[in-house]
Amino acid sequence: MMANKVLGYSEFRVFCDCIGRGLTFQDFQDDYLSKYQSTDHGGLGGEEGLTLDGFKDFFLAELVNLTKQTNKQAEAEAVIFQWLE
């Protein structure tokens, strides 16, 4: 991500594996690239992926979703912090 400032499918898939989520290329396109700020095929370096802002927006959206699921922001934050370990 640092070299071209884009988090492509392969890198995001590794992240998803680390947090216990499976990810297909189609899911990446449909569920992430379409919802969060991203580049297209003609983007920097020609790679399609999430921008840094898009990745931050993903984290914030996950915090909101987890808070709704647990009804406790502290529990949701704990899950997010586990992702960062």
Once rounded to an integer, what is the mean pLDDT over residues 64-70?
Answer: 85
Domain count along the chain = 1
Residue 75 lies in a domain: yes
Q: Which domain holds residue 50?
A: 7-83
The C-alpha angle with vertex 22 and arms to 55 and 64, in degrees rounded to 5, equals 45
Residue pLDDT, tens place only, 2-55: 566 788 999 999 989 988 889 999 999 999 998 998 876 544 556 789 988 899
Residue 2 lies in a domain: no
Per-residue pLDDT at 25: 94
> Helix, strand or coil for residue 65?
helix
Residue 48 lies in a domain: yes
Per-residue pLDDT at 43: 47
Name the one residue in this structure whose structure tokens are 């297209």: 40
Per-residue pLDDT at 45: 55
Residue 21 lies in a domain: yes
Residue 1 lies in a domain: no
Nearest CA to 68 out of 84, 57, 79, 83 is that of 79
Can you give the length of the chain in residues?
A: 85
- Find out whether 39 and 49 touch, Cβ atoms under 8 Å: yes
**Res 64 pLDDT > 90:** no
Per-residue pLDDT at 85: 79
